């Protein structure tokens, strides 16, 4: 890894393993259209919920590249969440995130509910998501949680993958 | 949450789509909105369901009807649900 100038983010009271993932309804964007969907509508088995910074930020690009490289969307349902608009999500999905659908949360209310907010420095009025990964079982119970505590930061992909393997066994 | 039987393919701020929405609301019909691409050539999902890329388009699973063109849709909705409302709603 190249050396980053890493900023510590404030501690956060985020959703952790064992809790039920908070319910929400937001436009869910696929490659062809978007429509309001609730989390409980779409979870019917192992599900990976990936919060990420705004579409276009390099962290977001890297996270989707890794999801694609590892073929996670073939193994389980994968949903992204960011504050970007449905139009931006469509552009993102045209390039990467094969098989992934992305919730649009411009108000960051879902981001806040999961305790993964990041008030981004130098962009007044923008609260976005830190990178965060929640692995849910079919009952929406969180089985693995990781929330970035530095900026920038990336999930421990191997740890996520082994949690996915454990859940699917 | 049960899925509404009517799906409306629409474009944000498209007056013809809003006209259909007004009719759906007036008839008190539940529907799911699917927003599609402004770029006409990218609306393959609409083409697949309705045979054309134009919006609005509706899919009504109550009747098996799929239809484009707002005037046709309004006429269809009023014809199917305006009078039936009394029976179906009773």
Domain residue limits, chain A: 12-168
Classify domain A12-168 by CATH architecture.
Answer: 3-Layer(aba) Sandwich (3.40)
Per-residue model confidence (pLDDT) at position B84: 67
Q: What are the structural domains, with CATH classification, of chain B?
A: 6-70 (3.40.30.10)
DSSP classification of residue A33: -
- Interface pTM, i.e. ipTM: 0.86
Per-residue model confidence (pLDDT) at position B2: 72
Identify the segments of chain A with pLDDT beneath 70: 1-4
Q: Give the residue from chain A lying closest to B11, CA to CA.
A: A33
**Counting Cβ atoms within 10 Å, is residue A2 exposed (0-12), middle (13-18) or buried (19+)?**
exposed
Distance from CA of B33 to the nearest CA of A (A): 6
Q: Considering only CB atoms, which chain B residues are within 8 Å of A35?
A: 32-35
CA distances from B18 to A71, B15, B57, B76 (A): 40, 5, 12, 16
Q: Per-residue pLDDT tens for A39-73?
A: 999 999 999 999 999 999 999 999 999 999 999 99
Q: Per the confidence metrics, is the pTM higher than 0.95?
A: no
Per-residue pLDDT of chain B (90 residues; tens, 9 = 90+): 578 999 999 999 999 999 999 999 999 999 999 999 888 888 899 999 999 999 999 999 999 999 999 999 999 999 999 976 555 543
Q: How far apart are CA A30 and CA A149, in angstroms?
A: 29
């Amino acid at each position: 890894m190249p050396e980053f100038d890493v900023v510590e983010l404030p501690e956060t009271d985020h959703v952790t393993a064992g809790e039920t993932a908070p319910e929400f309804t937001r436009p869910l964007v696929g490659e062809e259209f978007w429509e309001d969907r609730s989390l409980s509508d779409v979870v019917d088995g192992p599900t990976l919920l990936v919060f990420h910074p705004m579409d276009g930020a390099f962290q977001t690009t890297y996270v989707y590249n890794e999801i694609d490289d590892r073929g996670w969307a073939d193994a389980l349902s994968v949903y992204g969440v960011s504050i970007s608009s449905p139009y931006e999500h469509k552009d993102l999905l045209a390039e990467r995130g094969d098989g992934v659908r992305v919730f649009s949360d411009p108000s960051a209310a879902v981001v806040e509910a999961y305790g993964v907010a990041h008030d981004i420095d130098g962009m007044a009025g923008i609260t976005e998501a830190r990178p965060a990964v929640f692995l849910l079982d079919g009952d929406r119970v969180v089985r693995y949680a990781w929330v970035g505590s530095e900026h920038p930061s990336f999930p421990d992909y191997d740890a996520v993958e082994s949690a996915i393997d454990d859940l699917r066994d | 949450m049960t899925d509404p039987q009517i799906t409306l393919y629409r474009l944000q701020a498209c007056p013809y789509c809003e006209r259909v929405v007004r009719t759906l609301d007036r008839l008190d019909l539940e529907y799911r909105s699917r927003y599609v691409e402004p770029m006409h050539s990218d609306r393959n999902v609409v083409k697949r369901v309705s045979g054309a890329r134009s919006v609005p388009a509706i899919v009504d699973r109550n009747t098996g009807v799929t239809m484009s063109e707002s005037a046709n849709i309004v006429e269809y909705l009023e014809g199917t649900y305006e009078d039936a409302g009394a029976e179906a709603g009773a």
